[in-house]
Each structure stands twice: as C-alpha cells, then as structure tokens.
Amino acid sequence: MITTELSNVGHIIQSQRDFFQTGKTKDVTFRIEQLKNLKQAIIEHEQSIVEALQADLHKPEVESYLEIGVIKEIDYAIKHLQNWSKPKKAAVSWDFFSYSARIYPEPLGVVLIIGPWNYPFNLIISPLIGAIAAGNCAIIKPSEVASHTSHIITEIFAKHFDPAYIAVVEGGVEASQKLLAEKFDHIFFTGGTAVGKIIMAAAAKYLTPVTLELGGKSPCIVDTDINLEHTVRRITWGKFINAGQTCIAPDYLLVDKKIKKDLIDGIEKCLKEFYGDNPLTSPDYARIISQKHFDRLVNFLKDGEVIIGGENQPSERYIAPTVIDNVSLEDSLMQEEIFGPILPIIEYTDVAEAIALINSRPKPLALYLFSQNKNLQKRVLQETSSGGVCINDTIMQVGVSSLPFGGVGDSGIGNYHGKASFDTFSHDKSVLQNSFWLDLKWRYAPYEGKLPLIKKLLG
C-alpha cells in the first residue's frame, strides 16, 4: 500500500505550486486528457472499488455502481469544458461605448478536497472532476473511516497521476489538521456540520475560500394527493439505500394524518419486497460503517415506538430498516441528524404545521414533497428554504448535472456538480478593455464646469 507521509505534506504542496506555475493546467487540452485519464483509471479499478466498498459498508454491487457512476460526471465535464473555459463577453452600458468587457474563468491553484465515509469514492472523485476541469492541482484526503476505499483511492492515484499534480493524503483528524495548517487556494469539504466549522475556522487564517457540503435533517412531506405505491417505493429506497447513511436521505416523514396508516402499511410491504423477510440475510442491504455509529444509532431506538424493524446485531453492525412512530420533537432522534436506517414518522392535520416545524429548524440540505397538488407545491417552495427540493421522488436530484448541489445555512456553503463544479474551482476574472481612438475628458481635472455632466452620467 502506498501512503503519503504526513511529514511530506509541505513538500507535496510546494511541488504542486511549482507544477501549477508551469501553466500546464491552464491548457484545456491537458485538462481533458487528465479527465480521460481519470475515467480510464476508474474503469481499470472498478472491481477493486466495488470490493473496497463492500468491505467498508457491505455496499451491494448495484449501490457501488451508483458511486462509480461518477464517470458520467467526467463525460459531462469533457463534453462542456471547451465552452465553460472560454472567456465570456459581458454587456457594457452606452456610456462605456469605447470599451469591451469579458469574464475569464481562471484556475485557483492548489486545492484541498476532504471527503466523508458514506459515499467514500464518489464524494472524493466528484469534486475532483471540478478541480481538474477548472485547471487546478489537488490534494485529496479520503475518509479514514472507510479505510479500504481510502487505500484503493491512494493506489489508483499513485499509479495514474503525478503527485505534483494530484496527490492523496490518507489519515484521520491528524492528517486533516496537518493539511489545514497549510495554505490552499480553495478547500472543498464534505462531512458533518461540526467538523465543517473547524474547517472554516482553519481556512479563515489564510482567507481561503471554502465549499462546505454538510448534512442535517432532511424532511419529507407526504400529502394525500399522491400515487401511494410509487411514493412508498421512492421513500423506502431513498431512506434505506446504503442503510440510511446518505446525506440527502429523508431524515423524517411529515405525513398527512389521513394517509399515515396506508403509508406505514405500504412501507412495511415495500421493505419485504426489497429486502425479504429478514434484511440481515439480504445481499442488498448495507451495514453501519463503524461500532461508534452503530452505538449512536441503537441509542435512537429508545425514542418513540418502533412499529417496523428495530432488530440489530452488533457483531455485524446490522440495524434492520426501522420505522418509529410517536416521537417527541425533543427526542434526540428528532434533534440530531439520524444518518442511519431509522425513519421517524410525524403526522400533521394541516400542512402549515409541517412547514412551521421545518422553519423552526436549521435549513436542511434536501426537502422532499410528495404531492400532485400544484398549489401545495408552490406553497412549500415559497415558504421553506433548503439546499434543494425534490418533488415526488427522493435522492434523484443528485444525478442531474445541470442542477447545482449544495446546502444553505447549517447544511452548507457553496455548491457543485456539472458547471457549478467548474465555477466552484474557478475565479471569474473580470477584464475591461478600452481603445485609443477616443479620450473624452469629462472625468479628468480640472473639474470646473464638469459637474452637471457627471451628475447626468452617474445620476
């Protein structure tokens, strides 16, 4: 296994600065070559990536391909990069008639990408695509908690990329802190809100811009005007994929009282359809990443009343898909991000109660609404704030490259995916150019007699 010595961090950053200074990454052809190289490297190591994800999270092969599907984002970037990187003409007003204005996207330099453990491959590679597309050098630090995936990422990059261009630093808090002590041109962090604050504080020392892709409790409102069968399947899938360890999984349901029983019965039936009578033996159901997270989740089972599931097995870090009714808003289950296969259900009689509850909490990363009622859709969009919204489905918003993905408030700062990734890792340099064919004197001293004209021009 190849790992980067922590004592070497300063040296790697310097070598990346030197490489950046050569101007090589500014060449769009070079960037496209590197994106193709990345795609090829992923395809070559597909099987090892699947195995690493299986070892870390017992991730079913199909779900692993959702991570490896990041290749689609590489193709999207390759297709659009020439256009994205072109200088864009900007409009000028009539009084600037002798000028032309352009916006030049330019790379930032050397960037740091820190990833989480839940989609440990995808959430490192996806931002990296933006960093490469925009012409940066990058240091990536995968999560030490998903150690097998972290090792395979290290192997892939050691084999296919020069560390003076893209380097991997493995390790936990110590490695992160060592990196954060250095100056970067951008830090892209995916993880929890608490650590996000630590990242931002460290970045402030050098005025380093940050993108923070954080978590939180994403609510899911279920109205009566739905196709119940489709609703049930989409919620059950979105909640229990990766055993609920998905940043945009529906954290809790807010259900119209009139449909609650049908919804619960539907989820129960759907869970059997997905994972059989005993999800423990299903090849399609993941495990909790670590003992620490397992213990945290089992503690939630004390809150409310378990109406589906609740079984667990510490030796396997298995927690059955669980639905909990009669929770109190003060329960820890409703205070903390769940990030596991436990789904609390809260009923409402008027949707205003659901909206008020959402608005009394930190702004979520995702908000889900199941309803065909156009007025209700409009109302929820208007009266709530969240990183994104998905209507009549879950999770799928993450796969649409033309939609920027990110949080707001406690759920994050900035966004990425598609063009937004390119923008995140670029600086928009404004360039104004004048010509020499005319030089009106209205702005030059002596000012005597010029005030009326200035007032007219600027007023």
Options 173, 181, 204, 454; binder of ligand NAD; rule CB under 6 A: 173
Q: Which residues contact 146 (CB under 8 A, 6 or more apart)?
A: 52, 53, 56, 57, 117, 118, 120, 289
Q: Which residues in the 203-262 window bind ligand NAD by CB under 6 A?
A: 213-215, 247
The distance of closest approach from Cβ of residue 285 to ligand NAD in the complex, given in angstroms and rounded to an integer, is: 19
Q: Which stretch binds ligand NAD (CB under 6 A): 11-19, 47-55, 109-117, 131-139?
A: 109-117
Residue 364: DSSP 8-state:
P
Q: How many residues bind ligand NAD (CB under 6 A)?
A: 28
Task: Find the angle CA(268)-CA(269)-CA(270) to the nearest 5 degrees.
Answer: 90
Whole-angstrom distance, CA of residue 69 vs CA of residue 114 = 20
Window 401-430: contact mask with ligand NAD (x via CB under 6 A): ------x----x------------------
Nearer to ligand NAD, 85 or 143 (CB): 143
- Counting Cα atoms < 13 Å in the Cβ hemisphere of 339 gives 24
270 labelled catalytic: no
Binding flag, residue 365, ligand NAD (CB under 6 A): yes
- Give least dist CB 101 to ligand NAD, A: 35
d(CA 388, CA 133): 24
* Residue in the structure block whose two tokens are 């598609």: 418
Smallest distance, Å, CB 299 to ligand NAD? 16
Mark out the alpha helices in 45-136 (DSSP H runs): 46-57, 61-68, 71-85, 122-133
Cα(189)–Cα(142) distance, rounded to whole angstroms?
A: 10
Catalytic one among 137, 220, 247, 270? 247
User: Token pair for residue 196?
Assistant: 């996000």
428 membership: H or E segment, kind and range: strand 426-434
State in angstroms the smallest separation of the CB of 271 from ligand NAD. Answer: 23
SS3 string, 292-310, reads HHHHHHHHHCCCCEEEECC
Does residue 247 carry a catalytic annotation? yes
Pattern of binders to ligand NAD over 124-143, x per CB under 6 A? -----------------x-x
| Active-site option among 213, 270, 347, 390 | 213
Q: How many CB atoms lie within 10 A of CB 349?
A: 10
Q: Please report how close the Cβ of residue 149 comes to ligand NAD at its closest, in angstroms.
A: 11
SS3 (DSSP) at 346: strand
Q: Rounded to the nearest whole angstrom, what is the least distance from the CB of residue 251 to ligand NAD in the complex? A: 9
Q: How far is the CB of 418 from ligand NAD (least distance, A)?
A: 15
Candidate residues 67, 223, 337, 347; the one interacting with ligand NAD per rule CB under 6 A: 337
Which sign, positive or negative, has the C-alpha torsion 233, 235, 236, 239?
A: positive
Among 15, 16, 176, 401, binds ligand NAD (CB under 6 A): 176
What mask, x for binding ligand NAD by CB under 6 A, covers residues 153 to 172? -------------------x
For residue 155, give the nearest of 47, 264, 22 by alpha carbon.
Answer: 47
What amino acid occupies position 63?
E
Taking a C-beta distance cutoff of 8 angstroms, is the pair 106, 136 a contact? Answer: no
Q: Which residues are catalytic?
A: 213, 247
Query: Where does this chain bind ligand NAD (CB under 6 A)?
Result: 114-118, 123, 141, 143-145, 172-173, 176-177, 190-192, 195, 198, 213-215, 247, 337, 339, 365, 407, 412
